Structure 1
Amino acid sequence: MSNTTTETTNSNNELEKLERNEFNQNLGLIVDSHCHLQEDTENIEHSLELPYEKMFLMGTTVEDWDRVNTLADRFNDKWKDTKTAYRSFGIHPWFVYKLQPPQELIGQPIDTLKPDGDKYQVDNSWYDKLRENLIRYPDAIVGEIGIDKVTKVKAIGKNDPHSQMIVLSKQIQLANEFNRVVSLHCVQLHGKLLDFFQALPLQQFPPRVALHTFGGKPSTVQQFSKMKDQKGDRFYFGLSFINLTSSKVSKLIESIPDDRLLLESDQNTPLEANESIFKVVKAISTTKKWTIKETLERTRLNALRFLAK
């Protein structure tokens, strides 16, 4: 190894050490806008000790909503008004298969499994429970909801976009009715999602939508953020450690407006949350040419605007 290479490595190591120190000194500025810490019930005490100002606990199934409530109750009771764990209730597209079509339709070609009112949706009790939670908790978020091209319905072994769109649409309706912000998952269906929101009248829109771990192209960022009739003003873009696996992440970060960028750990354990957020903060600060603290301050203010009533 040459002296130049060694010097560069040492310089990079020293820089990261300084960045980590700056990060650790400002953990109280963090707003984790998307996490699943309630899933790690064995480490709930660690979740209670996280120094973040706010965290959004994303529920993904009806059963998961109880875990969200348990952690949120304990966190908020411990920290009172100094820190807040926001409850988020939704049906994740990965778990829409649990809301199965009638048995007589299973095994038929996928094209026959089209939404047909109550015939397609056997059990709508999830909808009533979601509505009850939103009424009970006035600050609750609707999420994690969305559409996913990769996930498959277990019973038929294929992707089922029809039922995903039905469940997504119903949850968006509730978000609009109760004036709640949304955290939305989308994998390889950004065009379909764009079409959905472009066709949705402004008066039926949720107040704001966070596109979680946004995996679209920079041009797609523009399509969402510049949507007509002021709809574009309602979209925010969350980044997590998952985004960092892409070689094009810098271009994606550059394309996101400074005031629409949100931090996410997207972790289901508190043991990995700090490291996941640090990696994202470092990538953002490098690309945007912000300091670590400035990155935390800016994303914090963005999250507060996202939440604002």
Structure 2
Amino acid sequence: MGTRLDDWAAVEELSRAAPRKVIPCFGVHPWYAHLHALTAEQVAHPTTLLEPPPPPKGNDRPNDSNRPTAATTTPPNDPKPPEPRPLLPALPPPSPPEAWLGRLRALLLRHPHAAVGEFGLDRGAVLPGTRLQLPRPARRQRSRQPREWTRTTPPYCGASSYGGSVDLVRGFTCLPGGVGERVYFSFSSVINDRPGPARAKLLARLAAVPLSRLLIESDQNTPGAVDAGLLAILGAAAEARGMGVEEVAQATTANFRRFYGASLAAMAPVAGGAEGRAGSMEGLAAG
């Protein structure tokens, strides 16, 4: 899954090397939103991507001066966040919108089975004192791509390694117009399964998600830890739902095939042409 313009070529190369095993995903992780400009002004003046927003005025000012606003991740009672300016000269210049959006469109055209991702918001990875507003328009811009090309989208906004509340699960799955029926929730042990009270919250979330919308992931950055991570979160899901591990594995496998159904269907002829034979859906999903 791509995280920024600079790694899309590696994602494409991997998908070509293993066409029966890899569903390429091209997107921008919120950690790298500042490297992808949306306007000419941001290209000409990159500091506008990270400069803190102006303080609230008049009636917009919070009652509690220590309360964090929507533009900062600094918790209450913490010292004033550091100014980001010392960091700015060390950052590479942002890519202009015509460069990275044009590249994204070209990749989606070239790979009909590709998904759009990763993209979204990440409350845990924002430079203190800088804009949260930046990932939001970037997310809106990238969300137009899957609608334009009818692609699967795995957004990074809590539904991936989901850390939201049980009430939000119910709210998402009840969205009108059939939208709620297309929302899935994925969990990983490395992000979600922590000792103490966090464990109880994870089990509650795992129990609240409809079984037909439950996905699991490793969320690891090294292949050697993937299998153990998947087994760990499978065990937690089985515990939360009072089911056997094998039963949960079968359900989440079926959900994966449904979530990535369009990609899997498009991969079969691609794989057949690349390897001289068409891979079965079973083989694709198992890979």
Distance 2:143 2:169 in 1: 20
Question: TM-score, structure 2 length as denominator?
Answer: 0.69
1:123 is matched with: 96
Task: Tell me the secondary structure at the aligned position of residue 267 of structure 1.
Answer: coil
2:144 is matched with: 173
CA RMSD of aligned residues (A): 2.0
Q: Does 1:94 align with 2:21?
A: no
Distance 1:275 1:223 in 2: 32
Distance 1:105 1:159, change over 3 A: closer
Equivalent residue letter for 2:144:
Q
Distance 2:48 2:147 in 1: 32
Distance 1:122 1:67 in 2: 18
Distance 1:300 1:237 in 2: 13
Distance 1:294 1:158, change over 3 A: same
Question: TM-score, structure 1 length as denominator?
Answer: 0.64
Structure 2 gap segments, 5+ residues each: 56-93, 263-287
Distance 1:284 1:179 in 2: 31
2:12 is matched with: 69
Query: After superposition, where does 1:1-309 map in structure 2 within 5 Å?
Result: 58-76=1-19, 80=20, 84-99=21-36, 101=42, 102-103=45-46, 105=48, 109-111=52-54, 123-124=96-97, 125-153=99-127, 158-186=129-157, 211-241=159-189, 242-245=191-194, 246-247=198-199, 248-309=201-262
CA shift at 1:261, angstroms? 0.3
Distance 1:149 1:287, change over 3 A: closer
Structure with the larger strand share: 1
CA shift at 1:104, angstroms? 6.5
Identity %: 27
Structure 1 gap segments, 5+ residues each: 1-57, 113-120, 188-210
Counterpart contact for 1:263–1:277, Cα < 8 Å: yes
Equivalent residue letter for 2:259:
F
Distance 1:174 1:222, change over 3 A: same
What do the CA deviations read for 1:209-255 (whole angstroms, capped 9, x no partner)? xx211110111100100112221111000011111112211101010
What do the CA deviations read for 1:18-50 (whole angstroms, capped 9, x no partner)? xxxxxxxxxxxxxxxxxxxxxxxxxxxxxxxxx
Matched length? 212
